[in-house]
Amino acid sequence: MCGTLQKKGTGSCPSAYTRKDKLEQAVIRKIKDHILTYENLKELVSLVNEEMDAAAGDYQERLNVISSEIDNVNQRLERLYDALETGSLQLADRHPESSVSGNVRSS
In a domain, 102, yes or no: no
Model confidence pLDDT, tens digit, residues 65-80: 999 999 999 999 999 9
Structural domain for 61, as ranges: 19-84
* pTM for this entry: 0.45
Model confidence pLDDT, tens digit, residues 4-55: 767 877 777 777 778 899 999 999 999 999 999 999 999 999 999 999 999 9
pLDDT of residue 73: 97
In a domain, 97, yes or no: no
Question: How many domains would you assign to the chain?
Answer: 1
In a domain, 55, yes or no: yes
In a domain, 43, yes or no: yes
- Which H, E and C letters describe the chain, residue by residue? CCHHHHHHCCCCCCCCCCCHHHHHHHHHHHHHHHCCCHHHHHHHHHHHHHHHHHHHHHHHHHHHHHHHHHHHHHHHHHHHHHHHHHCCCCHHHHCCCCCCCCCCCCC
